[in-house]
Amino acid sequence: MCKNGYILQAKELSKNFGALKAVNQVNLEIGKGIHSIIGPNGAGKTTLFNLLTGFLQPSTGKIFFLGKDITGLPPYEISRLGIARSFQITSIFPELSVFENVRISAQSRSRSSANFLNSFKGLEDANQNAERILKDLGLLEFRDAKAKNLSYGLQRSLDIAISLAIRPKLILLDEPTSGMDKGDTKKIIKIISVISRQIPVVLIEHNIDVVLSISNRITVLYQGSVLAEGSPIEIQQNEKVQEAYLGGY
């Protein structure tokens, strides 16, 4: 966390696709806990995530992570700096076991060299990290199962586990409860809450019940711009948000 209390900042961030302003001069400050990004379809939420993680380059504006200007860096460099991101579609290796999926991610952060002893130590550390994450996320009993054989909800949990294995300083989750039943949604909410005690979480989520129940702060996007920002109570009571997004909530 920087001296100003924010781990990630976007300043006047914009992304244009021809005449379309998908993201329009967005200012965003991410601190501790869970910061949710909400808004109707087409509001620019996923485009904003793509900008923050290097999958898209901004038309204008700057992005700072731990005080460092990361604007324009490619995704792999941003990831190595400590930003992890999950996608709307799971990015698992279906034919590998649950454990192998997480260990591969953990090994990607190993600093071991070609030296045999260092390589062995790196693998041992990756194994321990993978085991710990599976235990923390309630996936240890599925350790040896092929990823493709997991339920959809468990695959989403595994996707988060893979993101955690790179030891991030910040994690961005894109629609983690999408397509889930109430049971799986509750499990994911619990996982996200546990993660947020150690690592700041930025969340895109359509399920307003989820957003209001776990968020510390909420930013509402509308037509690419920030419509409002505040606590869950402040967002619920905001007349502009009521009119543009929440309806009768």
- Taking every pair of C-alpha atoms in the chain, what is the biggest distance, in angstroms? 63
CATH of the domain at 5: 3.40.50.300
The 3-state DSSP class for residue 39 equals: coil
pLDDT of residue 218: 97
Q: What is the pLDDT of residue 3?
A: 60
Give how many domains the chain has, as a whole number: 1
Q: Is residue 65 part of a domain?
A: yes
Instruction: Please tell me the distance from the alpha carbon of residue 217 to that of residue 231, in angstroms, as a whole number.
Output: 5
| Res 122: pLDDT | 58
- Residues whose CB falls within 8 Å of the CB of residue 31, separated by 6 or more in sequence, listed in order: 1, 5, 6, 7, 200, 217
Q: Span 21-35, mean pLDDT?
A: 96
Structural domain harbouring 18: 1-82+201-249
Q: Give a yes or no: residue 144 inside a domain.
A: no
Cα dist. 22→27, 30, 206, 229 in Å? 14, 21, 18, 19
- CA atoms of 113 and 136, how far apart (whole Å): 29
pLDDT band for position 181 (50/70/90)?
Answer: confident
Residue 197 scores a pLDDT above 70: yes
Residue 73 has a pLDDT of 96
Residue 129 forms part of a structural domain? no
The pLDDT of residue 125 is 85
pLDDT of res. 89 = 58
How far apart, in whole angstroms, are the C-alpha atoms of residue 156 and residue 100?
Answer: 16
CA–CA dist 249, 247 (Å, integer): 6
